[in-house]
Amino acid sequence: MRWIAHKFGGSSVANAARYQAVARLMVGRDDEAQVVVVSAMQGVTDTLIGITEKAATRSGDWVTELEALKQRHLATADELLGQQAPAFAAALDQSFADLAHLLRSVELLGTVPVEIVELVAGLGEVWSAQMLSAHFRALGETAEFLDAREVLRVTATELNVAVDWLPSEKLLAEYRRQHAGKRVVVTGFIARRLSDGRITTLGRNGSDYSASIFGALFDAAEIHIWTDVDGVLSADPRRVPEAMVLDHVSYEEAFELAYFGAKVIHPQTMAPATAKGIPVFIRNTFNPDHPGTRIDAEGGAEPPIKGITTIGGMAIVTIEGAGMIGVHGTAERVFAALRDARVSVTMISQGSSEHSICCVIKADDADRAREVLAEAFAREIARGQIQRVMSERGISVLAVVGEGMAGTPGICALLFNALGRAKVNVRAIAQGSSERNISVAIAEGEATRALRAVHAGFYLSAQTLSIGIIGPGQVGQALVHQIAEARARLLRETHLDLRVRALAGSRKMLLDEQRLDLSNWREALADQGLPCDLEAFARHVQAEHLPHAVIIDCSASSEVADHYPRWLAAGIHVLTPNKQAGGGPFERYQAVQAAARSGRARWRYEATVGAGLPVIGTLRDLIDTGDRIERIEGIFSGTLAYLFNRYDGKVPFSELVRQAKAAGYTEPDPRDDLSGLDVARKLVILAREMGMQLSVDQVHVESLVPAELVDAGVEEFLSGLSCLDAPMHERYQTAHEAHQVLRYCAVLEADGRAEVVLKALPAFHPFAHIALTDNIVSFATSRYRNNPLIVRGPGAGPDVTAAGVFADLLRVASGLGAPL
């Protein structure tokens, strides 16, 4: 039967319920013998050390705290041990009585020797292991209690506490001869010194170290470290919400991650396991079904980057001067001086010119380091060979760790692209020849931003789009629904990650750090929305840790369009069905185009003319391939197409308008459709796409709104519209008698002449046979002169307009590398 070592930390044995959960995890594993290493109950070690310090300094009521600690253990035992509780309580009473006597002695002395601190600090593990072994027995399970102080012998060294393996193995062998059980509950954290037999501790993370030691002593097949997270994470989840659990890492990768601040496991912890090649698993007591992270000699091939982490509270010490170039022994003198001053160097960087050497050290050592280096190179400084020795605090080291970096081109490019995009300046760079670690020194204030940006660069899809949508009207709502429906499929099939992180109406906006819940955004916007601030909205969308930002303007606001140049210049892609920028003041149009041309961002506005129809795209293709546009003619209003498809002279035109409004085919104020200005803006957009400097006031527009009703209220307008019935009926009759139909058309000539008018067209004309609300566009060109190119289809309605915007979004994503 193979031995498996299990270690449970303080959070895993915080109370009776957690002890019971630990027992449930261990019971029923009939194919393994278990060595179960436990920490003290959560917070107990710190409490014991605090009580000892209070006794030594005669400050605080340590007696009351000690009694509370005792009662906590007794209450836990009462829940766990059943009939075995009285025996455990008696032993615990004696242990606490002995401790109280010891602390009174400390109080009399007024000081506390380190040996007493180490003895007291380890008592929590003793009580915890005794309680868990008794709980197993109360459940009818076998369990032996092993006080690690009886078998584990160690020697303190300059670097750490080293295990004396041979005497420890002999003592354990003797213990096992006397205790043949297949489950041994061991105290973590504590041991005895080989030199004098005094009780000592293994330091912080000592219980993890104990698990690795006893895994090696028992020749365990595996070591499981049970904690309160699902495994080793790719980054600190408090700073990087997108951090993910790593399935498989190598010992070396784990060492690097631990050194640079990963809190799950300490490098020393794994040393005994590494020496014997025992795989270590990091598991979650609170989520035991999760497989956790496996750490072994081989590691996993994917992903090539296993983690990104940072160390703060650092400083850069730099020594530079022309006199260093080509001089042998300079680096040796630098490091000898720092060694003699007991300054530990975290990172070293030296340019190939040998003009300078910089070291990253703890900020607390910065002044001392600068002074000893200035002293060591005093002669060179006096001669001007060394220009300066300086130190700078406020530095963090960001490390990218992974065995898969070795021999993989482009890793550095990803790192520095991510940092550049986040506007993080790199102060120093270091990479070992193993290529397992790339470290950069950056300003401490930029560390979290850098960490998130680099993590996103390596772990998120390169086609992750941070999206903000403005205008939650009918088109905006349809677009949100379409994105919600397609998001999972696009991520699965093309790795395109569409993250709607912001929504804004005219008064409120809703922001989320990762992505909005698109199933209840309306309620959230109403209940949790912040006052709308488009500058803050744009800053949120353009998250420095996400590779691409997109703002989609589904409003009809000219004020929103005013922001386009700034957004585009900042690198935010802008997509819109809003005609204000393309068809509004020419100066603004020029500013938007200039911003789009000068930066990395794209402005896409296909839906401004034909909703979901490829009108602008077709025009752009014709121009880009060298065709010459001679004439564009079209029906660009679904509302007016509907009215003149339906109008047959039998129902008065005014009544038909009222019916169309009731059916939702017109704007709330039908004059917005009947005035022809919306069609004129679309024509202006096409003209500008051809390079013309056309404005709406240069388009001849035949308005269908009677002059006397222009300024009337909506209801007054609708009731007074009957004045249009007679002239409209007359025009219909004239056209009908000539076998013609009435169509509201826009026409753009190559020389810039533009008009929007009601025309009588032959019955055989392509515009005469469209569906009720269709748009249709005819391109007459040098290639398509005799048989114009026709684009036809639904050109209005929330769904088709949203689909046109969505298509623009996918075109932008395709340009960014998404395989669409």
- SS3 for 140-199, per residue? CCCCEEECHHHCCEEEECCCCEEECHHHHHHHHHHHHHHCCCCEEEEECCEEEECCCCCE
Q: What is the mean pLDDT of residues 41-70?
A: 93
Does the structure show a pLDDT above 80 at 159?
no
Does the structure show a pLDDT above 60 at 494?
yes
Pairing label, strands 199-201, 190-193: antiparallel
Q: What pLDDT does 415 receive?
A: 86
The helix or strand, by DSSP H or E, that contains position 8, with its residue range, turns out to be strand 2-8
Q: Answer with the residue of higher pLDDT: 503 or 474.
A: 503
* Residue 305 three-state SS: coil
Q: What pLDDT does 181 receive?
A: 86
Does the structure show a pLDDT above 60 at 537?
yes
Q: What pLDDT does 264 receive?
A: 60
What b-and-e string marks burial along 100-126, b requiring 16 or more CB atoms within 10 Å of the CB?
bebbeebbeeeebeeebbbbbbbbbbb
Examine the residue annotation and report whether 306 is marked as an active-site residue of this protein.
no
Q: What pLDDT does 64 receive?
A: 94
The helix or strand, by DSSP H or E, that contains position 759, with its residue range, turns out to be strand 754-762
Do 361 and 347 touch, CB atoms closer than 8 A? no
Q: How many other CB atoms are there within 10 angstroms of residue 59's CB atom?
A: 9
% of the chain exceeding 70 in pLDDT = 96
pLDDT-derived band at 820 (thresholds 50, 70, 90) equals low
Q: Hey, which of 109-123, 251-265, 658-672 has the most confident mean pLDDT?
A: 109-123
Does the structure show a pLDDT above 90 at 629?
yes
Does the structure show a pLDDT above 80 at 600?
no
Structure tokens at 432: 């070992």
pLDDT 10s digits, 732-760: 999 999 999 999 999 999 999 999 999 99
pLDDT 10s digits, 268-286: 778 899 999 999 999 999 9
Does the structure show a pLDDT above 80 at 13?
yes
* Residue 227 three-state SS: strand
Do 227 and 264 touch, CB atoms closer than 8 A? yes
pLDDT-derived band at 353 (thresholds 50, 70, 90) equals low
Q: What pLDDT does 180 receive?
A: 84
Residues found in the chain: 820
Does the structure show a pLDDT above 80 at 158?
no
Does the structure show a pLDDT above 90 at 231?
no
Q: What pLDDT does 433 receive?
A: 58
Q: What pLDDT does 319 receive?
A: 87
Q: What pLDDT does 608 receive?
A: 93
pLDDT 10s digits, 170-222: 999 999 999 988 999 999 999 999 999 999 998 867 888 899 999 999 999 99
**Residue among 7, 661, 682, 759 flagged as catalytic:** 682
Q: Answer with the residue of higher pLDDT: 326 or 85.
A: 85
Q: What pLDDT does 612 receive?
A: 85
Q: What pLDDT does 303 receive?
A: 73
Residue type, 628: R
Q: What pLDDT does 326 receive?
A: 65
Q: What pLDDT does 207 receive?
A: 83
Does the structure show a pLDDT above 80 at 795?
no
Does the structure show a pLDDT above 70 at 354?
no
Structure tokens at 360: 């990253």
Q: How many other CB atoms are there within 10 angstroms of residue 536's CB atom?
A: 15
Mean residue pLDDT across the chain: 89
What b-and-e string marks burial along 316-329, b requiring 16 or more CB atoms within 10 Å of the CB?
bbbbbbebbeeeee
Give the separation between CA 207 and CA 225, rounded to whole angstroms.
Answer: 10
Q: What is the mean pLDDT of residues 476-485?
A: 95
Give the separation between CA 820 and CA 809, rounded to whole angstroms.
Answer: 11
Q: What is the mean pLDDT of residues 79-104?
A: 93
* Residue 511 three-state SS: strand
| CA neighbor of 592 nearest in space, from 620, 614, 616, 572 | 572
Do 345 and 352 touch, CB atoms closer than 8 A? no
Strand order in the sheet with 629-635: 700-701, 754-762, 740-749, 629-635, 774-781, 789-794
Give the separation between CA 374 and CA 624, rounded to whole angstroms.
Answer: 65
* pTM confidence score: 0.69
Q: Answer with the residue of higher pLDDT: 718 or 305.
A: 718
Q: What pLDDT does 352 receive?
A: 57
% of the chain exceeding 90 in pLDDT = 63
Do 42 and 125 touch, CB atoms closer than 8 A? no
Q: What pLDDT does 598 receive?
A: 84
Lowest-confidence range among 417-431, 537-551, 593-607, 690-704? 417-431
